[in-house]
Amino acid sequence: MPNPTAAMLVIGDEILSGRTRDSNMHYLAGELTKHGIDLKEARMVSDDHDTIVTAVKALSSNHDHVFTSGGIGPTHDDITADCIAAAFDRSIDVRDDARALLAAHYARTGAELNEARLRMARIPEGATLIENPVSVAPGFTLENVHVMAGVPSVFQAMVASVLPTLTGGAPLLSQTLRINQGEGVIAGPLGVLAKDFPDLMIGSYPFQKDGVYGANIVIRGTDGALIDQAMTRLADLFPE
Amino acid sequence: MPNPTAAMLVIGDEILSGRTRDSNMHYLAGELTKHGIDLKEARMVSDDHDTIVTAVKALSSNHDHVFTSGGIGPTHDDITADCIAAAFDRSIDVRDDARALLAAHYARTGAELNEARLRMARIPEGATLIENPVSVAPGFTLENVHVMAGVPSVFQAMVASVLPTLTGGAPLLSQTLRINQGEGVIAGPLGVLAKDFPDLMIGSYPFQKDGVYGANIVIRGTDGALIDQAMTRLADLFPE
């Protein structure tokens, strides 16, 4: 059975303006690979209602899971929850269990649960909350979309809350061989090898270091023995 | 007149598996912002022919410019040039001027211009070459799609070759104010400010450092005087 597929949607003007370099996609990619869920696509969009709704609909219908980051805080530019509700034609309002989490948190810290903070308890109808052990305000899952915060420490904690609840497939295994020859030399034999092992993914990632051209050849797949076999042939092709 | 819009397409299994953390999107975002081209969307896809063709068509018809990175080397997993040709229904073959560039380069370095290396001279019909001062093998522009390498040093050199040839708009200016109060306190007044300056983009980027909650408020737009005005009001709202 093929692994479940996933897409990620990174939401935020700050990514597209170049102000902030996203790190959540790279983190999620690694976690999904370990869990046996294949990340097939990632999109980065700005804080625009229609753009987000369109992307959520497209990704949700094309993949088993969608993970979003960003836009669930208390400020005016945090519009993700409303966009998710709109994408699935659901109502959205402050929900008692989410409000209770925030109320208890702010009671402890002595801050006021004001109107802005209460926005973080607005949850689309029918969603399940995602626990936030870092800063309490929850994420949520609606249909196959998992909505999480953009702050990396919170995003990572939410991924840790959600991932164990999802059925994974076979983890993707990989082995790497560094070859100190140019890709132009490697390419011919490597192409033959790739044809001989159609069930494996064989990638070539060139580098240039201290004037030496080379490439890291990465062989990936779910069958460890098959990877060993391909790696042995690769090593024979390019002895040190 | 509004600024030209752009999208980026990052191509490569290694990004989606979590092996490599993309840096080209962040680099391009900053360069486009300076040049007055608005990056509206970025997508990351795997080395899959149909996926790449579909994404190129969608992005090319929705934006003034599309920038791609990755998949133009000599190995079997380098399929970007063929995908671009397919997306625009063009033929693709080794082109004399691209072959001449490679031939001169390998003559200098003493390496053989073999079949694999010659793949890097395959250019879709009607494309314009993009200069590669780092490792010679050119990128190309077809219609409104600029096809560049994935290796960051080469990608950056190609961006430097292409960008001066594109008509930019007004550079996006920005000012940032760091406020050492939680977003829940900032959100109310900030929302009013955002409503009062509809021509500016006002974003709030929370942080937590050494136990202190705060947010960087970023005000962006093309009218410097208007940004000054909004920034003055913001500073008055949250005196140190």
Q: Tens digit of pLDDT per residue, chain A (240 long)?
A: 789 999 999 999 999 999 999 999 999 999 999 999 999 999 999 999 999 999 999 999 999 999 999 999 999 999 999 999 999 999 999 999 999 999 999 999 888 999 999 999 999 999 999 999 998 999 999 999 999 999 999 999 999 999 999 988 888 899 999 999 989 999 999 999 999 999 999 999 988 877 788 999 999 999 999 999 999 999 999 987
B169 falls in which pLDDT band (50, 70, 90)? Answer: confident
Are residues B133 and B38 part of one domain? yes
Yes or no, beta carbons of A30 and B18 under 8 Å apart = yes
A&B contacts, CB < 8 Å: 196
For residues B156 and B90, membership in a common domain is answered with: yes
Answer with the one of B165, B198, B221 that is the final residue of a domain: B165
- pLDDT, residue B197, reads 97
The reply to whether residue B116 touches residue A206, judged by beta carbons under 8 angstroms, is no
Task: Kindly determine whether residue B188 and residue A30, on different chains, have CB atoms separated by under 8 Å.
Answer: no
Q: Which residues of A touch B172 (CB under 8 A)?
A: 17
Same domain (yes/no): B122, B229: no
pLDDT band at B210 (very low <50, low <70, confident <90, very high): confident
Interface test with A, best of B5, B8, B17, B151 (most A CBs within 10 A): B17
> What is the C-alpha to C-alpha distance for residues A103 and A17, in angstroms, rounded to an integer?
35
One domain, residues B48 and B129: yes
Query: Count of domains in chain A?
Result: 2
Residues of the domain holding B133: 5-165
Percent over 90 (pLDDT), chain B: 90
Does A172 sit within 8 Å of B206, measured CB to CB? no
Q: List, for residues B218-238, the tens digit of each pLDDT value.
A: 999 999 999 999 999 999 999
Nearest-CA residue of chain B relative to A44? B42
Residues of chain B neighbouring A155 (CB-CB closer than 8 A): none
* pLDDT surpasses 80 at B203: yes
The reply to whether B100 and B160 lie within a common domain is yes
Q: Domain check: are B115 and B44 in the same one?
A: yes
Interface touch A115/B23, C-beta < 8 Å = no
pLDDT at B40 over 90: yes
Among A8, A25, A118, A234, most B C-beta atoms within 10 A, so best to mutate, is: A25
Read off the DSSP letter of residue A9: E
| Shared domain check, B86 and B57 | yes
CA distance A128 to chain B (A): 23
Q: What is the CATH number of the domain that holds A32?
A: 3.40.980.10
Residue B168 pLDDT greater than 90, yes or no? no
Q: Provide the 3-class DSSP secondary structure of residue A151.
A: coil
Query: What pLDDT is recorded for position B213?
Result: 84
pLDDT score for A46 = 94
Give the pLDDT confidence score for residue B140 in this predicted structure. 98
Asked if residue B1 has pLDDT above 80, the reply is: no
Q: ipTM value, please give it.
A: 0.92
Together in a domain, B159 and B181: no
- Give the mean pLDDT of B136-146: 97
Where among B132, B165, B198 does a domain terminate?
B165
- Whether residue A21 and residue B23 make contact (CB cut-off 8 A), yes or no, is yes
**pLDDT beyond 80 at B104:** yes
B42, B114, B185 member nearest A16 (Cβ): B42
Instruction: Kindly report the CATH number assigned to the domain that includes residue A185.
Output: 3.30.70.600
CB–CB contact A20 B205 (8 Å): yes
Q: Are residues A157 and A42 in the same domain?
A: yes
Task: State whether A77 and B202 contact (CB < 8 Å).
Answer: yes
pLDDT at res. A192: 96
Residues B103 and B199 in one domain: no
Q: State whether B143 and B184 are in the same domain.
A: no
Q: Which of B165, B183, B218 is the last residue of a domain?
A: B165
Full 3-state SS string of chain B? CCCCEEEEEEECHHHHCCCCCCCHHHHHHHHHHHHCCEEEEEEEECCCHHHHHHHHHHHHHHCCEEEEECCCCCCCCCCHHHHHHHHCCCCEEECHHHHHHHHHHHHHHCCCCCHHHHHHHEEECCCEEECCCCCCCCEEEECCEEEECCCHHHHHHHHHHHHHHCCCCCCCEEEEEEECCCHHHHHHHHHHHHHHCCCCEEEEEEEEECCEEEEEEEEEECCHHHHHHHHHHHHHHCCC
Cα B134 from Cα B158, distance rounded (Å): 9
A75 closest CB neighbour out of B16, B39, B204: B204
Cβ distance of A183 and B39 shorter than 8 Å: no
Report the residue from B14, B33, B117 with minimal CB separation from A203. Answer: B14
Q: Are residues B117 and B182 in the same domain?
A: no
Helix (H/G/I), strand (E/B), else coil: A44: strand
- B212-221 sheet: strands from edge to edge: B173-179, B212-221, B201-209
Asked if pLDDT for residue B34 goes beyond 80, the answer is yes
